[in-house]
Structure 1
Amino acid sequence: MKKIVVFASGSGTNAENIIKYFSKTKIANVVSVFTNNASAKVIERAENHQIPVEIFEKNELLDRNVLQKIEKIDPDLIVLAGFLLKFPDNIIEKYPNKIINIHPALLPNYGGKGMYGMHIHRAIINNKEKETGISIHYVNEHYDEGGIIFQANVALTDQDTPETVAEKIHELEQKHFPEIISRLLEE
Structure 2
Amino acid sequence: MGIKRIAIFASGSGTNAENIFTYFAENEQVDIDSLWSNKADAFALERARKFGVETFVFNRDKFYGTDDIVDTLRKRKVDLIVLAGFLWLIPENLVRNFTIVNIHPALLPKYGGKGMYGMNVHKAVVANGEKESGISIHYVNESYDEGKMIFQASCPVLPDDTPDEVAQKVHQLEYEHFPKVIEKVLLGQ
TM-score using structure 2 length: 0.96
Moved more, 162-171 or 22-31: 22-31
In 2: Cα distance, 1:184 partner to 1:71 partner: 19
Q: What stretches of structure 1 of length at least 5 have no aligned partner? A: none
Residue 180 of structure 2: aligned partner: 179
In 2: Cα distance, 1:23 partner to 1:3 partner: 13
State the identity %.
49
Residue 13 of structure 1: aligned partner: 15
Contact 1:19 1:29 (C-alpha < 8 Å) held by counterparts: no
Residue 137 of structure 1: aligned partner: 138
Contact 1:32 1:53 (C-alpha < 8 Å) held by counterparts: yes
In 2: Cα distance, 1:6 partner to 1:57 partner: 16
SS in 2 for 1:45: helix
Residue 79 of structure 2: aligned partner: 76
Q: What stretches of structure 2 of length at least 5 have no aligned partner? A: none
In 2: Cα distance, 1:78 partner to 1:41 partner: 19
Structure 1 residue runs of 4 or more that deviate by more than 2 Å after TM superposition = none
Aligned: 1:24 with 2:21: no
Residue 93 of structure 1: aligned partner: 96
Alpha-carbon shift at residue 27 of structure 1 (Å): 2.3
Q: Map of 1:121-132 to 2, 5 A cutoff?
A: 121-132=122-133
Report Cα offsets for 1:68-107 as digits up to 9, x if no partner.
2111112111100000000110110112xx1000000000
Alpha-carbon shift at residue 159 of structure 1 (Å): 1.5
Contact 1:31 1:51 (C-alpha < 8 Å) held by counterparts: yes
Report Cα offsets for 1:95-142 as digits up to 9, x if no partner.
2xx100000000000000110001000000000000000000000010
SS in 2 for 1:181: helix
SS in 2 for 1:163: helix
In 2: Cα distance, 1:25 partner to 1:180 partner: 15
Contact 1:106 1:134 (C-alpha < 8 Å) held by counterparts: yes
In 1: Cα distance, 2:148 partner to 2:126 partner: 26
- Computed over aligned residues only, the root mean square deviation of the Cα atoms, in angstroms, reads 0.7
SS in 2 for 1:172: helix
Q: Map of 1:100-119 to 2, 5 A cutoff?
A: 100-119=101-120
In 2: Cα distance, 1:102 partner to 1:26 partner: 24
Residue 46 of structure 1: aligned partner: 48
TM-score using structure 1 length: 0.97
Report Cα offsets for 1:135-172 as digits up to 9, x if no partner.
00000010000000000000110111110011011100
Moved more, 59-68 or 40-49: 59-68
Aligned residues: 185
